[in-house]
Structure 1
Amino acid sequence: MIDSKTQEIRPESDDVYTKMEDLADELPESSPRFILLSYPMTVESGRITVPYVLLYYLPENCNPNLRMLYAGAVELMRSTAEVNRVFEVETEDDVTSIESKLKGAA
């Protein structure tokens, strides 16, 4: 999360989720978040791949000031975390369907 007073990007928690549904349930309804995702999955060829991506969670009913704050920090977060791709997600359904997007990108 980004501290709006100090402009510092810091972890909200160190939780590790093994199911996308659990992650989606924990997301706030009106605050954006950056989520670093390392998600092991098996692709069609049968090999296991572990993409490392950034989910940029930006709910539709987000405060405009927070929206601008996070939008300005996406590239910094992407380069600092050294992720391969950034996916913008707006709803819990977007988060739970990320595996299909990752398989399409593999």
Structure 2
Amino acid sequence: MSDAEICFQDCELEEICDELPSQQPRYILISYKLAHSDGRESFPMCLIFYTPSDCSPDVQMLYAGSRNNLVKECELTKSLEIREVEELTKEMLDSKML
């Protein structure tokens, strides 16, 4: 694992949010427990593209240009984008993944 990679296991979203920089984009590959209305549980995986408002446009373009390739290589069906750390909540994930 390189210095640019951080791996969390069995953690809360708040822990991930605490590690996100305020001026650098990040890709977040996440799998989490999703409870369905019929009682089933699933563990969907999705890519979250975090691109803060304060980030330079050049860096935003660099990350945005690689996003689709990453989604394709990881064979993901869900990809989300957030601009502010506060957007990354369980409620947001549940609403986008159901």
- Name the TM tier (shorter chain): 0.7 to 0.9
SS of equivalent residue, structure 1 residue 69: helix
Q: 1:101 aligns with which of 75, 78, 92?
A: 92
- Give identity over the alignment, percent: 31
Pairwise CA RMSD = 1.7
Residue 14 of structure 2 corresponds to 21
Three-state SS of the structure 1 residue aligned to 2:47 is strand
Q: Give per-residue Cα distances to partners, 1:62-93, cap 9 Å, x unaligned.
A: 01111010110010110111111110011121
CA distance in 1 between partners of 2:68 and 2:61 (Å): 13
Runs of 4+ in 1 over 3 A off after TM superposition: none
Cα distance per residue 1:39-75 (max 9 Å; x no partner):
1121222111111100000000001111010110010
Q: Which residue of 2 aligns with 1:42?
A: 35
Please give the TM-score of this superposition, normalised by the length of structure 1. 0.79
Aligned to 1:77: 70
Per-residue deviation at 1:101?
3.4
Q: Distance in 2 between matches of 1:18 and 1:63?
A: 30
Is the alpha carbon distance of 1:91 and 1:17 closer, same or farther for their aligned partners in structure 2, counting shifts above 3 Å?
A: farther
- Secondary structure in 1 aligned to 2:27? strand
The answer for the alignment partner of 2:47 in structure 1 is: 54
1:80-91 correspondence runs (5 A): 80-91=73-84
Q: Aligned pair count?
A: 95
| Cα distance change, pair 11–79 in 1 and its aligned pair in 2 (3 A) | farther
Cα distance in structure 1, aligned partners of 2:82 and 2:62:
16
Structure 1 residue ranges without an equivalent (≥5) = 1-9
Q: Secondary structure at the match of 1:103?
A: helix
* Aligned amino acid, residue 103 of structure 1: D
- Structure 2 unaligned segments of length 5 or more: list them: none
